[in-house]
Amino acid sequence: MAKKILVGIDLGGTSLLAVATSRKGKILGRHKRKTYAEEGASAVLKRIEHTVRDAVHKAGYKLSNVRAIGIGAPGPLDPKAGVILHAPNLGPTWNDLPLAAHLSKSLGPPVYLGNDVNVGAIGEHALGAGRGFKNLVAIFVGTGIGGGLILNGRLYRGVRYTAGEVGHMVLKADGPVCGCGKHGCAEALASRTAIERDIRAEIEAGRESVVPSLMKASGRDMITSSVIEQALDRDDPVVSKVMAAAEYYAGLMVANIVNLLDPEVVVLGGGVVERLGERYLEPVRVTAERYYLNQKDRSKIHVVATQLGGNAGVLGAAMMANQRWKQSR
């Protein structure tokens, strides 16, 4: 019998990545393309198909060798039906789109759909920082803040498949407006978007900062994780102030999660976290531990960085596909 492999797909508003993996999560082949979401769902679906075929080909296999395909996608979705209900980052043509059925028909193997952050949590639990633990919360800090919950070894989705929206935990009732329209969400206080907003506001208010010169040197008009790191290396007062506030609110978010669920591991990921490492994590831990209700055995709660980094989503999607394939037998 020919060896069976898995495919994981990470579908984002900017780019899509597919990897072919062994059943133990070893990456055998990968391919990445721009999403070009503005071209509409039909065009992006074709691009996904080509990306999967390229990843499998690079691994030295054929689609007939693929046991199952998993895809992590943004936005509200129905994972059991394989339908994307609404995807603001991808556009209106994705509303009520039967993504899994379409890809399974065009590619052949069964396709399983999951929320992008949830599959990241599955990846960290199966292959990364959560290996060996039963209870894990994964938090990914990016343009927004998303979370995934692994409870008693299994992904917890909630009755409406929206569990884990830790970014919309209200931390400051009169705080800044979040992208969701509410005030004071963690996302509005500690995401990359919030960090960039606050750095720009400080500079526009006349505070001295090296950020403009670093951005000019990099040729980018966005305050990247690299720019933040370089500014911190130079003890920039603006970036130091903004990052301290973001880390404080991230710490409050972690403390609230620990007080609610008491997990063994809280994994933090995303570009800023991965770039800054312990420089980011340690202040988050200090604040979180200060607000734990139960102060005994605090060391049993591991607040750590992602081990899989940018591969958490695709590897998690592949592991999810394998899990759900087995459940369907």
pLDDT in tens, 149-171: 999 999 999 999 889 999 999 99
pLDDT at 157: 93
Tracing tokens 């929320």 back to the chain, one arrives at 115
Q: Is 70 helix (H, G, I), strand (E, B) or coil?
A: strand
Q: Summarize pLDDT for 15-46 with one digit per residue, the tens.
A: 999 999 999 999 999 999 999 999 999 999 99
Which residue type does 76 have? Answer: P
> How far is residue 86's CA from residue 102's CA, in Å, rounded to a whole number?
16
> How far is residue 22's CA from residue 315's CA, in Å, rounded to a whole number?
10
pLDDT at 3: 84
| The domain made up of 5-115+311-319 is a member of CATH 1.10.287.130 | no
For residue 18, the tally of other CB atoms under 10 A from its CB is 29
For residue 86, the tally of other CB atoms under 10 A from its CB is 14
> Same CATH topology for 5-115+311-319 and 129-307?
yes
Close Cβ partners of 266 (under 8 Å, ≥ 6 residues apart): 136, 137, 138, 139, 254, 257, 258, 288, 301, 302, 303, 304
Q: Is 91 helix (H, G, I), strand (E, B) or coil?
A: coil
Reference 71, options 119, 29, 28; nearest CA is: 119
Pairing of strands 154-156, 111-115: unpaired
Percent of the chain scored above 70 by pLDDT? 99
CATH for the 129-307 domain, from 3.30.420.40, 3.30.2020.30, 3.40.640.10, 3.40.190.10: 3.30.420.40
Q: Summarize pLDDT for 189-221 with one digit per residue, the tens.
A: 999 999 999 999 999 999 999 999 999 998 888
pTM score > 0.85 for this model? yes
Close Cβ partners of 107 (under 8 Å, ≥ 6 residues apart): 49, 52, 53, 63, 66, 69
Which tokens go with 289? 């531990």
Whether 110 shows a pLDDT value over 60: the answer reads yes
Q: Is 153 helix (H, G, I), strand (E, B) or coil?
A: coil
Domain ranges of the chain: 5-115+311-319, 129-307
